[in-house]
Amino acid sequence: MCSHELFAVAVQNRWTQFLREDGNREVMAAVSLGSLSLPPLKYQKVAVCCSYVNGSLRPITVSGNPPTFVSASGRRIVAVGDLHGDLSKTRLALEMAGVLSSDGQDLWIGGETVLVQLGDILDRGEDEIAILSLLRSLDIQAKSTGGAVFQVNGNHETMNVEGDFRYVDPGAFDECIDFLDYLDEYKGTWDDAFIGWIRATKWWKKKRTSESYWTRWNFLKVSALFDDWIFCHGGLLPHHVAYGLERMNKEVSFWMRDFSESSDGPAVPFIATRGYDSIVWNRLYSRDSADAKYQILQACSLILPNKMT
């Protein structure tokens, strides 16, 4: 799923939690949430990601439902994870990676570079939506020069969809309030409003009142294969590969879109989102052990058999 769809669901869940703590805001919530429709879900079996064509490089292509397999031959690939609502550090990291201008204009300067964000944009910091807006803006700019920006989900994204808000910064709740008010005043499309938030967020922080009202949030895959490179938030194990990358992505996407505490929604995709060895929680590869190295080789040999012989 795309980033602004996950945003819509997670914020809606946070808003529901907020109402439990203050029932007097229920009428305001109904009006606010009713005025904001979820962005349409758009999947393509095969999609060309950029209109830019370089004679020496083939266009970036994406396949899978949800998008899981990316062909970006010959391009520089940069990965960054765990931005956790810290907009200033996000900008600094992207500047260091050579993909973001340092003049404060938030311009893509990465050319044909592919940027992969490895999840955990949510929690701990107060500028989650602004970071998502920045990445969306950079993706649009990157496509015009032959590059692209991709995102996968981390464990903090799945936690928010489940209603686990232990690590949500109070300022992040305020940001969602500001974003809802901003949408009410915005005259253009939802996508344009979302992209424009990175430019508007500072002004809305200054305008903020002491009242608190909520809205919604967005979605992605949990793993992606870029030519010979595999990207995920935690770590890929052989049983994840055997289960199927696209299958995991599809089940997580379906679960995130339809999850509801008050209904018998789709089962939690345990292999991807729960447990110490799930794809978003796995920490095995942080250990320098023979077992970790063996698991890496096994997973890679299953996905890239021709490259391991």
pLDDT tens string 90-125: 999 999 999 999 999 999 999 999 999 999 999 999
Q: HSE of 38 in the Cβ direction (CA atoms, 13 Å)?
A: 20
Residue 53's pLDDT is what?
55
Residue 39's pLDDT is what?
46
Q: Could you confirm whether 156 is annotated as catalytic? A: yes
Q: Which of the residue ranges 69-78, 249-258, 281-290 has the most confident prediction, judged by mean pLDDT?
A: 69-78
**Domain around 101:** 3-234
Whether residue 140 lies inside any domain: the answer is: yes
Whether residue 284 lies inside any domain: the answer is: no
pLDDT of 183 strictly over 60: yes
Whether residue 44 lies inside any domain: the answer is: yes
Whether residue 286 lies inside any domain: the answer is: no
pLDDT of 288 strictly over 80: no
Q: What is the largest CA-CA distance in the chain?
A: 65
Whether residue 99 lies inside any domain: the answer is: yes
Q: Alpha-carbon dihedral of residues 288, 118, 46, 192, nearest 10 degrees?
A: 180
Pairing of strands 229-232, 223-226: antiparallel
Which position among 84, 156, 233, 240 bears the catalytic label? 156
Residue 253's pLDDT is what?
82
Whether residue 280 lies inside any domain: the answer is: no
pLDDT of 141 strictly over 50: yes
Q: Which of the residue ranges 82-91, 202-211, 294-303 has the most confident prediction, judged by mean pLDDT?
A: 82-91
Confidence of residue 40 (pLDDT cuts 50, 70, 90): very low
* pLDDT mean over 151-171: 88
CB 95 within 8 A of CB 135: no
Confidence of residue 55 (pLDDT cuts 50, 70, 90): low
pTM for this model (two decimals) = 0.65
Whether residue 81 lies inside any domain: the answer is: yes
Whether residue 133 lies inside any domain: the answer is: yes
Q: Which two tokens stand for residue 263?
A: 């209904």
Least confident of 17-21, 93-97, 218-222, 229-233: 17-21
Residue 262's pLDDT is what?
43
* pLDDT mean over 170-195: 85
More confident residue, 52 or 296: 296
What is the count of structural domains for the chain? 1
- Residue partners of 103: CB distance under 8 A and separation at least 6: none
